[in-house]
Amino acid sequence: MSDALGRSDDWGGVTLTDRVIGTVLLIAVVINVIAARSSVFILPTFVAMALATAYLERESFRGFLRPVPNSIPLALFLAFAVLSSVWSADPGATFTFTILICLTFLQWHVVNHWIALQPQRRIRHLSYWFVIAFLLGLVFLLHEVLANQYIRRLLVDHFGLFTPPSLKRHGYVDAAGNTHIKSFELNRSIATVNMLLWPALLCTMAHWTGKRLALIAALFIGGVFVATLGSNHETSKIAVLAGLACFAAASLWRRAATVSIGAVWAVCVLGVVIAANFAYDQLQLQDAKWAQASARERIIIWKDTAERVADAPWVGVGARTAYVLSNRAKQQKVHVAPAVGRETAAVHAHNMYLQNWFELGIVGAVLLLFAGLAALRGVATIPERAQPFALATFAVFAVEIASSWEIWQRWFAALFALTMIYLSLAIRSAEDDQFSGGDSRS
């Protein structure tokens, strides 16, 4: 345990409540890395824990629903998505899924406000156990990547746990009766450790300095790098490099890095339709032999989605309409293999920027643009030593949404909310000057 946690006299002592909350955090983060889709259940667990603690400790509930100024553009974006159910292909489905994402946003808001109210003693306790939890989750994930998911296969074969929903798609059983799971099943976990890396490093800085800090940072960065390179998730391979580059740039030239990230964000949000057409028509990346097969398929999907933007350029066709149309096509046994100009859209664009254009149009693109810029503006209000970590987290997020899952998948939205919660915890842990780097021995 770090020296910081041993200073019970200065910090009022670690209470039983602190230990209970720390235990919940430890278990939740490890589970989140091992089973990324658990984020849907972990987020409401944190909400219940925050509200219960606030009630028991007689904290005022008046501020829990007070809007965070920098989150208002995101709230407007989500409100417009809910409104789009009026003109979507399936109003009921659109309304249901967008309301669920709005609920995710509300849950983030509650936990984020709770973190802002906690004493520094509790923040430091939680940030310490977040570091330990991230380490445990990373070790497990590294083992699974390097050992071909040995533990998961063991659990499937002997206990029936974590069995893939469809072995035909997600794996197979050999002649000896042993289960083999395809490598892409780890992709969600790989994305998760990339999202949580920078908050974990910032929390580490609150407890260690010198050689110990350098060693832990090297283990975390190296571990995430090895796990990502050994995985099948190409998007995270770009994301881990983007996070490192952004952190390095922000550490040296913070203002220039912030402006540059904002400019890249604007280009991604506003220029994605042009980029999708250029990649297909001019660069012809769909025929590139050096590219992964899934990457070539996505070039085709992006081109097809980009052409469909013209169907409703101003307000889009409605949130989650692509998913609805694709499901209808499957029920009608319409061929839905990647192709430009096919009868129906892909289940989703594998690109949040492009999907946003198709489903929410120019209005949605502008709202998303301002949501990201507002988040970047908020970075300027946090402690300077925390800013490179926050910017690196934003860079990883910006890459992950560029070529992976869809906007309206609840686990994905919950992962973003949890990342922001962990980042808020890390930022709070970096606020105190007296004990920053609590264990200064090197």
Residue-wise pLDDT tens digits, 352-392: 999 999 999 999 999 999 999 999 999 999 999 999 999 99
Residue in 317, 315, 367 with CA at minimum distance from that of residue 344: 317
User: What are the two backbone dihedrals, phi and then psi, of residue 439, each rounded to the nearest 5 degrees?
Assistant: -105, 95
* CA angle (92, 93, 94) in 5-degree steps: 95
What global pTM score does this model have? 0.90
Question: In terms of residues, how long is the chain?
Answer: 442
pLDDT at position 348 is 72
pLDDT for 436 equals 47
User: Would you state the pLDDT for residue 37?
Assistant: 92
**In contact, 109 and 420? CB cutoff 8 Å:** no
pLDDT at 322: 81
**Spans in the chain with pLDDT lower than 50:** 1-11, 433-442
CA separation for the pair 302, 275 (Å, rounded): 9
